[in-house]
Amino acid sequence: MPKWKLSTEFTFDAAHFIRDYDGPCGRMHGHTYRVRIEATSSQLHSSQYCPHSVMVSDFRTLRWAKRDLLKGGLDHCVLNEVLPEGYETTAEMIAQYIHERTKKEVPEGVKLKVCVSETPNSWVEYEDDD
């Protein structure tokens, strides 16, 4: 069976603090987050921008988080004010949030892996078992 895997990478700027953290991360500060999303599928799909079944998922759909907060993204927001209740603003939970929100927008059967970095040398990866 064929398999396609696409990757896209982007950044967004946001502020946050980690609630009850004993150290500098407990104070409001900002990062340029780097996000890499990998999408894998055994079939090609259309998108809201292209009616032909020629892509795993549209890059525009995968990169929603880089849009300005006022346009539905995460850029230039305070993550503590944007992430739903139950999500802390660690890189792990930001990756999970981006994964879960993106999963709702891609065609059924597309498997996602989301990688998030707050600094150039620290990454977290999130994917689910479906």
The CATH number linked to 120 is: 3.30.479.10
* CA–CA–CA angle 123, 58, 13 (5° rounding): 40
Residues with Cβ < 8 Å from 39, sequence gap 6 or more?
A: 5, 6, 7, 56, 57, 62, 106, 110, 111, 112
E strand segments, 17-83: 29-41, 77-78
Q: Supply the pLDDT for residue 84.
A: 95
pTM for the predicted model, two decimal places: 0.95
- Decide if pLDDT at 117 tops 70: yes
Average pLDDT of the chain, as a whole number: 95
Number of domains comprising the chain: 1
Q: Supply the pLDDT for residue 70.
A: 94
Q: Supply the pLDDT for residue 12.
A: 98
Question: Pick the residue with more confidence: 2 or 127?
Answer: 127
Burial of 80 from C-beta contacts in 10 A (0-12 / 13-18 / 19+): middle
**Host H or E run for residue 13:** strand 4-16
- Decide if pLDDT at 129 tops 90: no
Q: Supply the pLDDT for residue 5.
A: 97
Q: Supply the pLDDT for residue 130.
A: 66
Q: What is the mean pLDDT of residues 85-105?
A: 96
- Decide if pLDDT at 115 tops 70: yes
CA distance 49 to 92: 31
Report the b/e string of 4-28 with b at 16+ CB within 10 A: eebebebebebebbbeeeeeeeeee
Instruction: Identify whether the C-beta of residue 44 lies closer than 8 Å to the C-beta of residue 55.
Output: yes
Q: Supply the pLDDT for residue 98.
A: 98
At 24-82, the pLDDT tens digits run: 999 999 999 999 999 999 999 999 899 999 999 999 999 999 999 999 999 999 999 99
Residue 67, token pair as written in the block: 């849009």
Q: Domain of 42?
A: 4-126
Q: Supply the pLDDT for residue 2.
A: 85
